[in-house]
């Protein structure tokens, strides 16, 4: 849900912000309240921390600028990086990475899951709050 909303907000010709894209999605799809709440946490967090997240992603994705990444890959990386950097107490790092890889397999290209895995592994190893805690 969060990936679709972020993709829609970024790709929309209507120039929606995160809240507008979220409301459009919520008006067209029935979603459980707990899923909707967590999706909003991700969407709002990614939207409001995009520069920080993109900088972290770019630092740990050699030879790739965020602006040149596929929209799907970029937004998967942003969501997982937000989870790793801001929600690491709520979402175990291993879970955030594994879920991002699965989403990349489903919605990305054939190479997306390996790319996402490599970048997120590098990011997780670089974050002081996660060092030594990737087994969780």
Distance between CA atoms of residues 70 and 58, nearest Å: 13
Distance between CA atoms of residues 39 and 48, nearest Å: 14
User: How does pLDDT run across 90-133, given as a tens digit for each residue?
Assistant: 999 999 999 999 999 999 999 999 999 999 999 999 987 765 55
- Does residue 96 share a domain with residue 34? no
- Does residue 54 share a domain with residue 37? no
Report which of 88, 79, 74 is spatially closest to residue 130, judged by C-alpha positions: 88
Distance between CA atoms of residues 87 and 84, nearest Å: 6
- Does residue 56 share a domain with residue 102? yes
- Does residue 53 share a domain with residue 36? no
- Does residue 35 share a domain with residue 60? no
- Does residue 64 share a domain with residue 5? no
CA dihedral angle for residue 16, residue 70, residue 46, residue 19, rounded to 10 degrees = 20
- Does residue 107 share a domain with residue 61? yes
Number of domains comprising the chain: 2
Q: What is the pTM of this model?
A: 0.90
- Does residue 36 share a domain with residue 53? no
- Does residue 84 share a domain with residue 65? yes
Would you say residue 135 has pLDDT above 60?
no
- Does residue 120 share a domain with residue 68? yes
Report which of 71, 51, 90 is spatially closest to residue 5, judged by C-alpha positions: 71
Specify the pLDDT at position 133.
Answer: 53
Distance between CA atoms of residues 88 and 86, nearest Å: 6
CA dihedral angle for residue 76, residue 100, residue 61, residue 94, rounded to 10 degrees = 140
Phi, psi dihedrals of residue 29, rounded to the nearest 5°: -135, 135
User: How does pLDDT run across 28-79, given as a tens digit for each residue?
Assistant: 999 899 999 999 999 999 999 999 999 999 999 988 899 999 999 999 999 9
The CATH code of the domain that includes 73 is 1.10.940.10
- Does residue 97 share a domain with residue 74? yes
Range of the structural domain that residue 20 is part of: 1-41
Report which of 73, 74, 87, 95 is spatially closest to residue 40, judged by C-alpha positions: 87
């Amino acid at each position: 849900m969060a990936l679709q909303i972020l993709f829609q907000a970024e790709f929309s010709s209507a120039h929606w912000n995160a809240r507008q894209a979220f409301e459009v999605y919520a008006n067209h799809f029935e979603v459980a309240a707990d899923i909707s709440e967590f999706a909003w946490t991700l969407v709002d967090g990614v939207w409001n921390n995009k520069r920080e997240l993109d900088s972290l992603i770019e630092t740990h994705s050699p030879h790739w600028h965020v602006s040149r990444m596929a929209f799907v890959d970029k937004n998967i990386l942003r969501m997982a990086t937000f989870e790793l950097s801001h929600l690491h107490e709520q979402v175990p790092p291993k879970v955030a990475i594994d879920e991002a890889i699965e989403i990349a397999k489903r919605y990305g290209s054939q190479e997306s899951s390996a790319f996402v895995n490599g970048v997120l592994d590098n990011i997780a190893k670089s974050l002081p709050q996660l060092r030594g805690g990737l087994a969780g």
